[in-house]
Structure 1
Amino acid sequence: MISDPLILSIVLFGFMFLLLFAGLWIGFSLFAAGVFGMFIYDLNLPPVLSIWDKIGSLMANSMYNSLNSWSLTALPLFIFMGEILFRTKISTKLLNGLVPWLSSVPGKLLHINVVACSLFAAVSGSSAATTATVGKITLEELKKRGYDRQLALGSLAGAGTLGFLIPPSLIMIIYGILSDTSIGKLFIGGIIPGVILAGMYSLFIIVRILLNRNLVPQLKEKYTFTEKIKASYELIPVLFLIIIVLGGIYMGVTTPTEAAAIGVIGAFVLAAVFKNLSWENFKSSLTNAVKTSCMICFIIAGAGFLSQVVAFIGIARALSEFIVSLGLNAWMLILIVGFMYFLLGMILDGISIVVMTLPIVLPIVLEAGYHPLWFGIFLVIMVELSQITPPVGFSLFVIEGISGENITTILKATFPFFIIMASMVLILLLFPDVVFFLPSKKTVLFIFHCGVLL
């Protein structure tokens, strides 16, 4: 039996890596790691209560809490929408409409992942749904057109996490409530860092293509302005879908879940218009949507159980208290806190990280002189990092499920975008005004609140 939470975290982390790289299903690996953690921890249970009783109680409670969410119903709906669109001509039309405009930009259609993820993140509010929906539409189409597979996978994984910086952001809402920080200011404060991060992704793609032009198709096509305008008509179906889904949310008419249902109906309408609405297409879309949704929900349930085990045995609290005991200066403190979140991101989901650590970490950070608004954006980006941090990186697992690639290939493809996101953390540290600039403008705040009221 092990009673030291720090030693326990190392053992648990090693066991999970062993299971994942042995090829065990991700959901099973998370549940198994949680059960293993309970067995090796010194529980000191009374004789009448067995360890299996405690495990069963924690598992039932965590699975119910993880999956009993109305907002989670948006996830299978958006995935279903993506499956329908994948089997219609809309993905081809989307790329055909953008080819003339992006043909002269190094990277061409590889930038579509960054743009599409930014748009869908604002619709779904879910990193998993964004990654799954956009990935279903773009990955196969990029592969058919001869684009580099690794850049396509990596850009999807990196851009899929932008949902946490784009309102409505669940992480920002939770942080705002727990820290008593203005949620409106948090939303606005994340805009510039989000734009910078998306720009850095696109800049990396451009640099990679300039260094190796064989990563994209070598067709040299020139388009007149008239041809570009004509090609833009291909984007009308996509714009139609974006308007009916996004418009309802931002006008306050629909919730994200209702918007997802409308999106499914819109996808069916487009499928009928394009004459792709066959029984086989419908059956394939529904079957794959169920498989992908079950895969993601199984991971969420496993992560929820593991999070409860980690909380029960005190790993997060032990790490936080250990950092407090070091007595560091402000710079070293925030770097150590960031490293702690990086480690926790390997074994916990983002919401669990925020809820479990914030009551301990926030007072320390504020006492060191950091502003709660700045720390909120810093924390959001660290949670974004956790989405592409092995072994519990939801975005990695979603991409594995929809692309058919093995996890090692996806990790290799994602690593440069992980470094870019880590660089964004350094930018926040060196230039904190990127967070404060927009929230300090009264006009911006007024326009934002008017939009919320509408």
Structure 2
Amino acid sequence: MNDVAVTTLLVVCLFLLLGSGVWIGLTLAGVAWIGMQLFSSRPAGDAMAVTVWGTASSWTLTALPLFIWMGEILFRTKLSESMFRGLAPWVSRLPGRLLHTNVIGCTIFAAVSGSSAATCATIGKMTLPELDKRGYPEDITIGSLAGAGTLGLLIPPSIIMIVYGVTADVSIAKLFVGGIIPGIVLASLFSGYLAVWAVINKQRIPLPDQVLTFGEKVRESRHLIPVVVLIAAVLGSIYSGVATATEAAAVGVVGSLVLSAAQGSLNWNTFRDSLMGATRLYCMIALILAGAAFLTLSMGYIGLPRHLAEYVRSLGLTPFMLMIALAIFYIILGCFLDGISMVVLTMGVILPTVQAAGFDLVWFGIFIVVVVEMAQITPPVGFNLFVLQGMTGKEITWIARVTMPFFFLMCGMVLLLWFVPQIATWLPSKM
């Protein structure tokens, strides 16, 4: 069978399994098993056991359950309510009001976690209940969270940037610095869309609780102090070199427990509920990760990523058309692979083509991260969509639909990077 036939068969299997109600992680593993059994000589059972164990025992992955636990602790304290009390006066005059807390929260937390799933899950635990309690519509709150959650990959530190830097032999420090302005620009695009949406749908936005003077706003900002202290502790431990991302996540958990105790909301019930809530959510995410890792291995053995990359290279496109083709290529590939695997499996073939076309490798790294972000919210295997499905219980097709505007905003960001490349290259050039 040719590559198109193999891809079509696997996509059909994926949709059939998802449509029949099979768990997402098991669906991904099942499609991978079918692929290996039919199109590879390696025993599928042995490959699955090794891959799942390797994924589950990853030390880097330890940061994810810790950040999720931190979000569960904060969800059960007064801290999320305090964050809203501190932010509400400052965004109350903006169209959309508290809808912007999803974008602001994800932008801030992205600088802590470096993980899209952790950002989406942690901020969602804090913002979704508060926005629902205040009467904000579910479609725009969940859609904006899915979109803004992807900022965890773009705003440094970013695991994908590290992988790309090592693979392409590019300065990781320059990549980190290069992601700052694009991250802020993308967050601004999200907030701008929310403002426009709110102007068009005024009747769906709740009225502000109260109108405050400037002095009263400043006084209300004191409620942000615990959040700022916690973020400073986590960020400070990373950027000072005292802690790795995983150790910083542990600092976040300890800090959350200390703040919860200081507020008087820490007792055995809240501790147990937060631990069990984090365990349930992480088990769901871990099963998806294990299935995605096995699917990645299966695709590697079949050779689909390499064949697709070689096909793109053989087209002889202009630089602009090459950029568009690569964007489409990575979005399609994102239906089967996680972001890190996409970079690892394709860079060896894509890089010579990119260099021959004259692309700046720092710029291309930022471009790759933005396109991988798009794949995080692209059905059928957008990882953020699965995380939100596990959190909200909504149908994944509904979540994908309400998230599509943010996908198109990312498409606009890709074009902006092409026409104004200085967004990604100006800061690194000053190093």
Normalised to the residue count of structure 1, the TM-score between the two structures is 0.92
Asked if structure 1 preserves the Cα contact closer than 8 Å seen for 2:92 and 2:208, the reply is no
The yes-or-no answer on 1:419 pairing with 2:408 is yes
What is the aligned partner in structure 2 of residue 328 from structure 1?
Answer: 317
Task: Select between 125-134 and 5-14 the one with higher mean Cα deviation.
Answer: 5-14
Say which SS state the counterpart of residue 429 (structure 2) adopts.
Answer: coil
Say which SS state the counterpart of residue 359 (structure 2) adopts.
Answer: coil
Shift of 1:404: 2.2
What is the aligned partner in structure 2 of residue 31 from structure 1?
Answer: 29
What is the aligned partner in structure 2 of residue 78 from structure 1?
Answer: 67
The yes-or-no answer on 1:360 pairing with 2:349 is yes
What is the aligned partner in structure 2 of residue 123 from structure 1?
Answer: 112
What is the aligned partner in structure 1 of residue 424 from structure 2?
Answer: 435
**Distance in 1 between the 2:412 and 2:154 partners?**
16
Shift of 1:115: 1.1
Say which SS state the counterpart of residue 410 (structure 2) adopts.
Answer: helix
What is the aligned partner in structure 1 of residue 175 from structure 2?
Answer: 186
**Distance in 1 between the 2:82 and 2:289 partners?**
34
**Distance in 1 between the 2:250 and 2:310 partners?**
45
Amino acid in the other structure paired with 2:27: S
The one of 99, 113, 118 equivalent to 2:102 is 113
**Distance in 2 between the 1:328 and 1:129 partners?**
37
Amino acid in the other structure paired with 1:282: F
The yes-or-no answer on 1:403 pairing with 2:392 is yes
Q: What is the aligned residue count?
A: 431
Asked if structure 2 preserves the Cα contact closer than 8 Å seen for 1:6 and 1:315, the reply is no
Amino acid in the other structure paired with 1:123: V
Asked if structure 2 preserves the Cα contact closer than 8 Å seen for 1:159 and 1:198, the reply is yes
The one of 14, 31, 52 equivalent to 1:16 is 14
Shift of 1:38: 2.2
Asked if structure 2 preserves the Cα contact closer than 8 Å seen for 1:83 and 1:136, the reply is yes
Shift of 1:324: 2.2
Asked if structure 2 preserves the Cα contact closer than 8 Å seen for 1:241 and 1:263, the reply is yes
**Distance in 1 between the 2:109 and 2:346 partners?**
29
**Distance in 2 between the 1:133 and 1:252 partners?**
24
Deviations 1:410-430 (A, max 9, x none): 111111001101111111122
Task: Select between 219-228 and 347-356 the one with higher mean Cα deviation.
Answer: 219-228
Shift of 1:99: 1.2
The one of 283, 286, 301 equivalent to 1:312 is 301
Task: Select between 28-37 and 60-69 the one with higher mean Cα deviation.
Answer: 60-69
Shift of 1:278: 2.4
Shift of 1:88: 0.8
Say which SS state the counterpart of residue 122 (structure 1) adopts.
Answer: helix
Asked if structure 2 preserves the Cα contact closer than 8 Å seen for 1:153 and 1:413, the reply is yes
Shift of 1:150: 1.2
The yes-or-no answer on 1:255 pairing with 2:244 is yes
Shift of 1:220: 6.5
Deviations 1:189-231 (A, max 9, x none): 1211111100000000000000111232124732111111111
**Distance in 2 between the 1:334 and 1:386 partners?**
16
What is the aligned partner in structure 1 of residue 52 from structure 2?
Answer: 63
Pairing of 1:81-100 with structure 2 (within 5 A): 81-100=70-89
Asked if structure 2 preserves the Cα contact closer than 8 Å seen for 1:79 and 1:133, the reply is yes
Amino acid in the other structure paired with 1:11: L
Shift of 1:79: 0.7
The one of 200, 213, 216 equivalent to 1:227 is 216
**Distance in 2 between the 1:181 and 1:283 partners?**
45
Say which SS state the counterpart of residue 437 (structure 1) adopts.
Answer: helix
Asked if structure 2 preserves the Cα contact closer than 8 Å seen for 1:6 and 1:318, the reply is no
Shift of 1:265: 1.4
The one of 125, 130, 148 equivalent to 1:159 is 148
Instruction: Show structure 2 runs of 5+ residues with no match.
Output: none
Shift of 1:140: 0.7
Asked if structure 1 preserves the Cα contact closer than 8 Å seen for 2:37 and 2:44, the reply is no
The one of 169, 192, 204 equivalent to 1:215 is 204
Normalised to the residue count of structure 2, the TM-score between the two structures is 0.97
Larger radius of gyration: 1
What is the aligned partner in structure 2 of residue 373 from structure 1?
Answer: 362
Task: Select between 288-297 and 321-330 the one with higher mean Cα deviation.
Answer: 321-330
Say which SS state the counterpart of residue 217 (structure 1) adopts.
Answer: coil
Say which SS state the counterpart of residue 438 (structure 1) adopts.
Answer: helix
Asked if structure 2 preserves the Cα contact closer than 8 Å seen for 1:5 and 1:313, the reply is no
Task: Select between 379-388 and 404-413 the one with higher mean Cα deviation.
Answer: 404-413
Say which SS state the counterpart of residue 187 (structure 2) adopts.
Answer: helix
**Distance in 2 between the 1:63 and 1:301 partners?**
5
Shift of 1:6: 2.6
**Distance in 2 between the 1:406 and 1:328 partners?**
39
What is the aligned partner in structure 2 of residue 4 from structure 1?
Answer: 2
Amino acid in the other structure paired with 2:124: G
Asked if structure 1 preserves the Cα contact closer than 8 Å seen for 2:106 and 2:149, the reply is yes
Task: Select between 63-72 and 307-316 the one with higher mean Cα deviation.
Answer: 63-72
**Distance in 1 between the 2:122 and 2:101 partners?**
13
Amino acid in the other structure paired with 1:60: A
**Distance in 2 between the 1:287 and 1:55 partners?**
33
What is the aligned partner in structure 2 of residue 452 from structure 1?
Answer: none
Pairing of 1:269-280 with structure 2 (within 5 A): 269-280=258-269
**Distance in 1 between the 2:339 and 2:156 partners?**
16
Amino acid in the other structure paired with 2:278: A
**Distance in 2 between the 1:419 and 1:179 partners?**
28
Amino acid in the other structure paired with 2:191: S
Deviations 1:359-397 (A, max 9, x none): 001101111221211111111111111111112211111
**Distance in 2 between the 1:30 and 1:165 partners?**
26
Deviations 1:56-84 (A, max 9, x none): 12112221332332121111111111111
What is the aligned partner in structure 1 of residue 329 from structure 2?
Answer: 340
**Root mean square deviation of aligned Cα:** 1.4
Asked if structure 1 preserves the Cα contact closer than 8 Å seen for 2:112 and 2:235, the reply is yes
The yes-or-no answer on 1:40 pairing with 2:47 is no
Instruction: Show structure 1 runs of 5+ residues with no match.
Output: 46-50, 446-454
Shift of 1:5: 2.5
Shift of 1:165: 1.5
Asked if structure 1 preserves the Cα contact closer than 8 Å seen for 2:385 and 2:396, the reply is yes
**Distance in 2 between the 1:320 and 1:64 partners?**
29
